[in-house]
Amino acid sequence: SQTIHQWPATLVQPVGSPLSLECTVEGTSNPNLYWYRQAAGRGLQLLFYSVGIGQISSEVPQNLSASRPQDRQFILSSKKLLLSDSGFYLCAWKPESSYNSPLHFGNGTRLTVT
């Protein structure tokens, strides 16, 4: 069966520091991968999605970036964090070429920027 791992679970970082969140999926090949952010009291906002290695689409311009160095690895990064980057970051996946399939989420990373 497929599983998705996200780490770390929680993170407290000062403003201006870098960020790297990692997500991996097991048990499937060439999944579609997604990064969402959920700010306090707000809905899930799609940040990035990827349909293959090196293929990244950005939905919201900001100081975050994403990379997919391997088939089942998705990384969210920032060079300098802002206070507004605080939130609950969720990685999700769905099978390749499955237009109508739901997303399956990892356990999330709660980021607090101080």
3-state secondary structure labels for all residues of 36-55? EEECCCCCEEEEEEEEECCE
Task: For residues 69 and 60, give the distance between their C-alpha atoms in angstroms, rounded to a whole number.
Answer: 21
Candidates 14, 61, 69, 102: give the one binding another protein (CB under 8 A).
102
Binds another protein (CB under 8 A): choice among 75, 93, 108, 111: 108
Contact 109, 6 (CB under 8 A): yes
Contact between 29 and another protein per CB under 8 A: no
Binding segment for another protein (CB under 8 A), chosen from 12-20, 21-29, 60-68, 99-107, is 99-107
Residue pair 13/19 in contact (Cβ under 8 Å)? The answer is yes
Q: Is 56 in the site for another protein (CB under 8 A)?
A: no
Q: Are 16 and 33 in contact (CB under 8 A)?
A: no
26 counts as binding another protein under rule CB under 8 A: no
CB of 45 to another protein, least distance (A): 8
Summarize as ranges the residues that interact with another protein (CB under 8 A). Answer: 32, 34, 36, 42-44, 46, 49, 51, 57, 59, 90, 99-108, 110
